């Protein structure tokens, strides 16, 4: 089980046959469902959101209505998964409200994914290197 997603955590992502999902470095596309570990009383939900453009001129919180997932802050996150779309030609920076187009954050190029083990979406911001840089966000919450 080399690249199993969630191995060693309180959850494991599984496919339709309940086999653990491994990272597919060829396509990056996964079709998954959550398997709760009811024997330990653990249940979680994977929330996915419509793709959005990272604003190119200023850092924008990921919950923004236009350049974000268009929701109130989610405060019961286990993980926030942020991916730069595979068709991006530039990059997306992820960080705090001080993130800039080339500094103060983590740079994600096309297809790169960042998993944040934080409880709230209220402190996560993005900015694109140029316009039309797409961002995909999923949240694993309690």
Give the tens place of pLDDT for each residue, 44-83: 688 888 899 999 999 999 999 988 999 999 999 999 999 9
Q: Residue 40 has what DSSP assignment?
A: G
Give the tens place of pLDDT for each residue, 115-124: 999 999 999 9
pLDDT at position 56: 93
Q: In the structure encoding, which two tokens stand for residue 136, read together?
A: 């995909």
- In degrees, rounded to 5, the angle at the alpha carbon of residue 91 between the alpha carbons of residues 88 and 96 is 130
CA distances from 49 to 28, 33, 52, 117 (A): 17, 15, 9, 18
End-to-end Cα separation, the chain, in angstroms:
25
Mean residue pLDDT of the chain comes to 82
pLDDT at position 80: 95
Please answer whether residues 92 and 105 qualify as being in contact, where contact means their C-beta atoms are separated by less than 8 angstroms.
Answer: no
Domain edges within the chain:
1-43, 45-141
The answer regarding whether domain 45-141 maps to CATH 2.60.120 reads yes
Give the tens place of pLDDT for each residue, 68-79: 999 999 999 999
Q: In the structure encoding, which two tokens stand for residue 129, read together?
A: 């290197």
Phi and psi at residue 138, to the nearest 5°: -130, 150
Please answer whether residues 92 and 139 qualify as being in contact, where contact means their C-beta atoms are separated by less than 8 angstroms.
Answer: no
């Amino acid at each position: 089980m080399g690249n199993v997603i969630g191995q060693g955590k309180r959850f494991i992502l599984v496919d339709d046959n309940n086999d653990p999902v491994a990272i597919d470095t060829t396509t990056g596309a996964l079709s998954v469902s959550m398997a709760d570990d009811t024997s330990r009383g653990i249940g979680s939900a994977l929330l996915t959101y419509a793709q959005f453009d990272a604003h190119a001129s200023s850092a924008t919180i990921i919950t923004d209505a236009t350049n974000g997932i268009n929701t109130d802050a989610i405060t019961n996150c286990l993980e926030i998964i942020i991916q730069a779309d595979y068709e991006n030609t530039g990059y997306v920076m992820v960080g705090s409200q001080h993130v800039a187009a080339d500094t103060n954050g983590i740079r994600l190029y096309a297809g790169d994914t960042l998993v944040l083990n934080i409880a709230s979406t209220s402190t996560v911001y993005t900015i694109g290197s140029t316009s039309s840089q797409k961002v995909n966000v999923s949240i694993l919450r309690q």
